[in-house]
Amino acid sequence: MSIRYKYTENETAATDVYFNEETHGEYMGFEQDGVMKKVPASLLKTKILADHLADVANPHEVTQTQVGLSNVPNVTTNNQTPTYTVAEGLSALVSGEVLSTAFGKLAKGMLSVIAQLDGKSEYRGTLIASDGDLNTLTLTGPYTCYGTTSNVPSATENWFIIHLNSNVNTASAGQIAIGYTTGKIYFRNKASSTWSAWSTGVTPAELGYLSGVTSAIQGQITSKEPAANKTTVWAETPGDVKFPTEKLVDARFVEVEADIADHETRIQVLEGFNPLLTWADVQTAVRAGVVEKYLAIGDQIADTWIDVAAGTTYSMNHDVVHFHPATKDGTNMLPAIGLQFHELLPFGLAFSNYQAFFLCPDGLAAGTYYVEVGVNWGTYVVLGAKYQFTLTQPVPAGGQLSGFYGAPDVAPANWRVYSWASSSSVTPIETVTPSAGNAGTGLGTFLTTVNGDLNSIQRTAYGNNRWKDSAMRQWLNSDAVSWWTPQTAWDRCPPAADLAKRGFLSGLPADLLAVIAQVKVTTYANTLTDGGVADVTYDKIFLPSLEQMYINPQIAGEGTYWPYWKNRLNVASPVAQGGTYPALIKYRLGTGTAEYQRLRSASRGFANTTWSVNTSGYVYYNSAVYAYRPSPACVIC
């Protein structure tokens, strides 16, 4: 074997050099003249080394692995093809991390941008399919969707959506929805992977509703402490109601007039709203869903009420008792605030008057008549007893007979029978005294229910306990001088003292009256005479029920309990009927005297009694004819 090298030391006399194995490894050369001669070893070594150093064709066949370059691609930088896995979520690049991880993060970021832009020349909201679901959004950004998309505020219009994730994970997020047609704005949030309900929608105008407000509620808001240790939330003359921001930070403080302007400033900074200045502001705050930013359960708004008939003006505190939704049409529930007079009215009125026991649609001639008793009741109503009386004057058509007032508790010798020309007559035609006997014409038998031509003896003796027919309800919801009309054929007009009072609404400030809503009120009738049905009325002013006072009701459904009374009672569950609870005591306006408080709930086993709270806080039922004082309630929505 031989290796032939080109020997070029003498460039003008090229000599070929050979390694000759036959001559024991001598190196031989040929000069130009063809004469072979030995090549000097020193010259030969120099030439071989130079040629070897100049050889860049890898004469030893060295591999990448041998030199530690097995992972280096044999391409230029611009032609490299990196591999990576797209990151699961968006995250920042970290100095020093491997390129595959960095490229995975970059790819995730670019995919998110591409998804948002979707080939558009500007940044627009991603369209969610009509059968999509807002609850499944995981990427922060703007979206648009249809009314048919799941979990939108309403299916009646299309929506612009802004979705915002927490900086920690997607288990916490928020969404803002803007109606395409109405422009109303809704909010909701997600905590622990559970979405809240959408807030009540507000228009941009409602968000900025407090600008330009100038008039004032004639009063002030005071703290929710009991009267004995009540702290005035601020001190200033009535007229400029300002809700204190400090109340949101500190439960109790005393304000002086010099600090009011400073507090107003802090309200605006901390809450982003201006002070409530009028009843209209309260209503607008309610409708915008922000009233609880200003008012809490137990707060009071001070205003006035006028007894127009007497010409007396009273300072009246309205307790904030609840924030339950209310309905004005029986279907649509609206944000609301419930208010109740802190005090009882300065006078009492009958829930309803004694009812007639006999009707005279065609008149009744003068003569002797008798009635029989068909039940035992109390001390003096005895089964089988008969009582007769004589009328000396005829009763005209449409007239009535009433009497036997207080029958179970009043001795028969003190019973009277009255004849009336009509249900609205204030003065009877005549008054006669019945006596034991059955002379003359029988008119029928008294029972606890209506029996033929005779009314229930309970309603004859103590009045009607049905809220929808009551004189109390009529008076509270009227501003008229003549406020009463009969609701049933048996009704008798209220006592003269009650009729002399002008309707309750006439004494309310006009700006308060303008925002009070006529809302749905449910009250169950008694089971004795009225079948226990649920009566639905629509009232501006009403009395609380047992249930709303956080007292265990005879039947549920007369309204969700008011947190104010739960807080006052300081109990975990409704208190029992027949118990005594000092926290329920109410005091007469202007005197501070504890008085009986009338409730609207009927005592369901009787036709003549409603529930009430007495001067010690005892919860019991009493007759409808008693002139107990009301603590009226209303709703703004």
The reported pLDDT for the residue numbered 571 is 96
Whether the per-residue pLDDT at 300 is higher than 90: the answer is yes
The reported pLDDT for the residue numbered 65 is 78
Q: What is the pLDDT of residues 236-247, one digit of tens each?
A: 333 333 333 333
Q: What is the pLDDT of residues 53-91, one digit of tens each?
A: 667 677 777 777 777 777 777 777 777 787 879 888 888
Structure tokens at 175: 């969404």
Average pLDDT of span 506-528: 97
Q: Quickly count: other Cβ atoms within 10 Å of residue 620's Cβ.
A: 15
Whether the per-residue pLDDT at 418 is higher than 50: the answer is yes
Average pLDDT of span 336-352: 96
The reported pLDDT for the residue numbered 266 is 45
47: confidence class by pLDDT, cuts 50, 70, 90: low
366, 371, 377, 383: CA torsion to nearest 10: 160
Please provide the average confidence, as pLDDT, over all residues in the chain.
Answer: 82
Q: What is the pTM of this model?
A: 0.61
Alpha carbon of 103 to those of 91, 108, 258, 271: distances in Å? 12, 9, 63, 45
Whether the per-residue pLDDT at 212 is higher than 50: the answer is no
The reported pLDDT for the residue numbered 120 is 54
Going by their DSSP bridges, the two strands 633-636 and 337-341 should be labelled as: antiparallel
Average pLDDT of span 326-354: 95
The reported pLDDT for the residue numbered 207 is 59
The identity of residue 168, as a single letter, is V
Q: What is the DSSP letter of 629?
A: B
Domains of the chain, by residue range, sit at 1-73, 126-201, 358-462, 467-636
The reported pLDDT for the residue numbered 128 is 87
The reported pLDDT for the residue numbered 400 is 98
25: confidence class by pLDDT, cuts 50, 70, 90: very low
Quote the CA–CA distance of 526 and 624 in Å, as a whole number.
Answer: 13
Q: What is the pLDDT of residues 541-586, one digit of tens each?
A: 999 999 999 999 999 999 999 999 999 999 999 999 999 999 999 9
Quote the CA–CA distance of 432 and 453 in Å, as a whole number.
Answer: 20
CB proximity list for 571: less than 8 A, separation 6 or greater: 550
Quote the CA–CA distance of 372 and 440 in Å, as a whole number.
Answer: 12
The reported pLDDT for the residue numbered 274 is 59
126: confidence class by pLDDT, cuts 50, 70, 90: confident
The three-state secondary structure class of 390 is strand
Q: Detail the DSSP E strand segments found in 248-385.
A: 300-307, 312-322, 326-327, 333-334, 337-341, 358-360, 367-373
Average pLDDT of span 267-296: 78
Whether the per-residue pLDDT at 232 is higher than 50: the answer is no
Q: What is the DSSP letter of 101?
A: H
Q: What is the pLDDT of residues 153-195, one digit of tens each?
A: 998 889 899 998 877 677 889 999 999 888 889 999 998 889 9
Least confident of 219-223, 378-382, 444-448, 568-572: 219-223
Structure tokens at 331: 């279907």
Quote the CA–CA distance of 92 and 94 in Å, as a whole number.
Answer: 6
Average pLDDT of span 337-360: 96
Going by their DSSP bridges, the two strands 594-595 and 15-20 should be labelled as: unpaired
Whether the per-residue pLDDT at 130 is higher than 90: the answer is no
Q: Which residue has the higher pLDDT, 523 or 262?
A: 523
The reported pLDDT for the residue numbered 117 is 59
Quote the CA–CA distance of 382 and 619 in Å, as a whole number.
Answer: 29
The reported pLDDT for the residue numbered 224 is 36
The DSSP line for 427-448 is S-SEEE--EE---SEEEEEE-S
Q: Which residue has the higher pLDDT, 20 or 78?
A: 78
Average pLDDT of span 459-470: 98
Quote the CA–CA distance of 157 and 183 in Å, as a whole number.
Answer: 10
Average pLDDT of span 330-345: 95
The reported pLDDT for the residue numbered 26 is 46
Q: What percent of the chain has pLDDT over 70?
A: 78
49: confidence class by pLDDT, cuts 50, 70, 90: low
The reported pLDDT for the residue numbered 131 is 86
Burial of 583 (0-12, 13-18, 19+ CB in 10 A): middle
Instruction: State which of 143-152, 431-440, 582-591 shows the largest mean pLDDT.
Output: 431-440
The reported pLDDT for the residue numbered 611 is 98
Q: What is the pLDDT of residues 90-104, one digit of tens each?
A: 888 888 888 788 878
The three-state secondary structure class of 367 is strand
The DSSP line for 167-195 is SS-TTSEEEEEEETTT--EEEEEEETTEE
The reported pLDDT for the residue numbered 243 is 38
